[in-house]
Amino acid sequence: MIGAIVLAAGESRRMGENKLLVEIEGRRMIEWIISSFDDVADELIVVLGHRPEDVVPVLKELGARWVVNENYAEGMVSSFKRGLDELEHCDAVFLALADQPFVDRYFLLKAIDVWKGGAKIVSPVHEGKKGHPVLFDKSLFDEILSLEKQEMIRDVIHRHESEHHLVEAGEWAIMDVDTPETLEQLTRS
């Protein structure tokens, strides 16, 4: 069983408005990332934090499952752990970022194939830069859940570098929509 955890807990400070609700080609950003996992992930959970009440109506409309990370200000690790608490029963989970709306379905399927071949971690890479979503094997869940506040998810990746496989991906893997400028760049391309 494959799970997907979409981190959507941030404050969108650089965007100046809730970026999850910004429309791109007629769909809200949160809709794009959720639909990327249609027919790929068996379960998906969105982790909210800052002002969840702004996004919950959209998630209800989409029939998406969500949880709120009350400790979202502690960073991405706390939100990932909150989502993982809900999907611990999965065999592997994708860690996805809500501000990367155009995840490629081909990459997701390829990542699952690479994982089935024995990889513990699978990441997209574009021009030498690693991106998201990252697929983590169940054997790493306890280690992730025991991360301390000062530790990062990349610490887990570094400890398991020999079991970390990279899959070539497009620019979408390293491009997140954090500012009005990146949104404009994305809509132009």
pLDDT band at 88 (very low <50, low <70, confident <90, very high): very high
160 phi and psi, to 5 degrees?
Answer: -120, 30
Task: Identify which of 50, 34, 146 has the alpha carbon closest to the alpha carbon of residue 98.
Answer: 34
What's the mean per-residue pLDDT of the chain?
A: 89
pTM here is 0.90
Q: Distance (Å, rounded) from C-alpha 165 to C-alpha 117?
A: 10
| Domains of the chain, CATH where assigned | 2-188 (3.90.550.10)
pLDDT tens for 21-65 read 878 788 888 999 999 999 999 999 999 998 899 999 999 999 999
Please report the pLDDT score of residue 15 as a whole number: 45
pLDDT, average across residues 131-143:
97
Does 187 score more than 80 pLDDT? Answer: no
pLDDT, average across residues 134-154:
95
List the Cα angle 122/49/58 in 5-degree steps: 90
pLDDT band at 17 (very low <50, low <70, confident <90, very high): low
Which burial class, exposed, middle or buried, applies to 178 when counting CB atoms under 10 A from its CB (0-12, 13-18, 19+)?
middle
Does 89 score more than 90 pLDDT? Answer: yes
Does 14 score more than 70 pLDDT? Answer: no
CA 3 to chain centre: 11
Pairing of strands 2-8, 92-97: parallel
Is the peptide bond between 133 and the residue preceding it cis, with omega within 30 degrees of 0?
A: yes
